[in-house]
Amino acid sequence: MKKLVAIFLSTFVLIACSSSEDSLSFSDNPGPIDSNLVGALEEGQDPSRVPEIQRNFLAGCVMGATDRMPDLVAVQETGLLEVCGCSYMELVKEVRREAAAVADPVTSSSEIEQDAYKRFKKLDEDFQATEGSFDDEILALFATCIRQSPA
């Protein structure tokens, strides 16, 4: 099952990533997440205040995979929620690291956050432009999350 999840994650993770045009950070536009996606949230995260980009990412990841796997009985049983949640957090960490690495010493933390957010959105644009392919570094992030999944 994990190999199937890997295939579909690498194809559908960012499809629903788009957020409002005025969003500039990973915390913008908090709102409730669909109840069937709550299991993808970090421990202690309030399901009624999930940032829009995270809601969209998780919906794209989980729903994209389940749409392609009609025999999927229950998302909770596959570990897909955990894999999608982990993948989101790892991608955010990675774009933040990248943004911080290229920032000048005088760059504010809010400017670094905005750059990281733009990098994340660019991943979505690149994904769509290449019809669903990621570079090896991004696929390695997903693979790490899949290996860590209990299912």
Digitized pLDDT (tens) for each residue of the chain, 151 residues in all: 445 444 444 444 554 455 555 667 899 899 999 998 898 999 999 999 999 999 988 888 877 665 555 444 444 456 788 888 998 999 999 999 999 999 999 999 999 999 999 999 888 777 777 666 667 787 788 778 877 776 5
| Partner residues linked to 31 by β-bridges | 50
Contact assessment for residue 58 and residue 89, using Cβ atoms and an 8 Å cutoff: no
Mean pLDDT of the chain: 78
Summary count for the chain: helices (H), strands (E): 6, 0
Instruction: Please provide the distance, in angstroms rounded to a whole number, between the alpha carbons at the two ends of the chain.
Output: 8
Contact assessment for residue 35 and residue 144, using Cβ atoms and an 8 Å cutoff: no
Sequence spans of domains, the chain = 2-148
Structure tokens at 127: 């994904």
CB neighbours of residue 100 within 10 Å: 14
Taking alpha carbons only, the member of 120, 151, 134, 124 closest to residue 24 is 120
Q: Where does 15-79 have alpha helices with state H? A: 52-68, 75-78
